[in-house]
Structure 1
Amino acid sequence: MTWIEVIVLGVVQGLTEFLPISSSAHLRIVSEVFFGQDAGAAFTAVTQLGTEAAVLLYFARDIGRLFMTWVRGFTDPQVRTLPDYRVAWLVIIGTIPIGVLGILFEEQIQTAARNLWLIATTLIVFGLLLGLAEKVGRQKVELQQMKVADGVILGFAQAMALIPGVSRSGGTITAGLFLGFTREAAVRYSFLLAIPAVVAAGIFQVPDVFAGDGPTPAQMIVATVVAFALGYASIAWLLHYVARHSVYLFVWYRVVLGLLLFVALGAGWISAY
């Protein structure tokens, strides 16, 4: 990989990771359109370490509070009645589906699921589902009111993002809105829920990213740092945006991008693999 490719993909990762538009789809599309090759699922997983570091920094106070409450709950029965204790456990529970399915379907995720025809379809279908969730969701439930069933459903919604084009945050936000959560609550939980799964996947796939003609360690460090910086800014922007606006902007963006991708594939301008 060239330095230009590495930097461009790091920028794409940072800008799109937290928006409900699928960073993995954008990395796949940009790689194919501008560089004529797929950067690979491993590259995506490792650069996500940078964006998850941004989450850890941005939500450091919330994460620290949840973790300490969770630890205290093992010895103090009164702590177990606190909303933070329940939320901490729901982050753990919600991580299980993506972990199990990621291991079971690792080969398909890295090969067949990266077909651009499939990505174009998931961009449009899950974009429309996001729009429907925005329209019918009650948007009254806050994060502290989550139930175990909510955590399980949102966990499976996140797991669907193993298919590029679905979007980890998009799937979680969509399910959250359908369950009646406010936009901000759904977004915040999607950030917290992603931390264990993304960090584990990134570390697990570090050896794979350097195989063959992949990037050098120095290039991956630069890409990850770029993703971190832009990811931090993206978190702040998204939380500010969803507190005041609907998610229809992302719905229209996903649909238009999916349609353009169908046109490009149908015309033979780009390859699906």
Structure 2
Amino acid sequence: MVAGPAAALPGDFVRALRGLPPLAVAFSGGLDSRFLCHAARLCGCDVLALHARGPHIPAQESAWAAQWANAAGLPLLMLDFDPLSLPEVARNSRQRCYDCKKGLIAALRAALSKRRAREGGDRLLCDGSNADDLHAFRPGLRALAEARVRSPLAEAGLDKAAIRSLAGSTGLVWPEQQARPCLLTRLAYGLSPDAALLERLAGLEAALAQLPAPDEGGPALGDFRLRLRPAPLLQVTRLPAALRPQVEEILAAHGFAPCQIAETGGVSGFFDAPPRVLHEHKPGLDFTTERV
């Protein structure tokens, strides 16, 4: 009999989690990995979160992940990982996610091995991939399969909508959290990243996220990403007219001016999707369109 908040979870998912050995969860601090840790602990699982800091992850996101884990009483192991040292990532090829994930898994397993030597005990390495990821361009999934990393959310058929709903009904804070993929996804394939550029991107997006919403309708710009193709393009899911001057000032202050600003229905998978029509905001015009 499942009681308490765990009773809101699907029965098959609860039974699957309870059948697993002690877990080590690749923990970004995003909704999926937080929910996996949260749900597993509701089901009585022994969970250790593993968070990899690096130039591809904004420092404030790593800090928030650690803060949330501490507040939740979740054991957390922090480690450093630099994907820019990997050839395919340095070239920014279409397989960058595969090589990055492969290198990350090796780093996580090395950290677990050191911990096991000190404290003993084996753990099953898991990640927070969900069912939606199985239908998108995700080269990193091949690295997970090759390394036999388990993805309990995807295995249970839980997509992002289901995870948001279950997170809210089981008491997980911030179930509306937007996805923030690694900073490497902001660059068109073939553009070589470096740590200084990624830090500048992180600073820009952090500043944009702090813009006050002119109404009660959520984040000021909705969901957004800055894309380098190589000319900068700021994707937003909304752009209140009153905020345009501030947005342009922030872009210029971080060295991304001139910059096209475009409203799009979504911001995920920009460089992996077919060419799309962008609705661009320009002073003195309602909308213009450009196919990218």
TM over 0.5: no
Q: Which has the higher contact order (CA 8 A, sep 6+)?
A: 1
Normalised by the shorter chain, which TM-score bucket? under 0.3
State the structure with more CA Rg: 2
How high is the TM-score relative to the length of structure 1?
Answer: 0.27
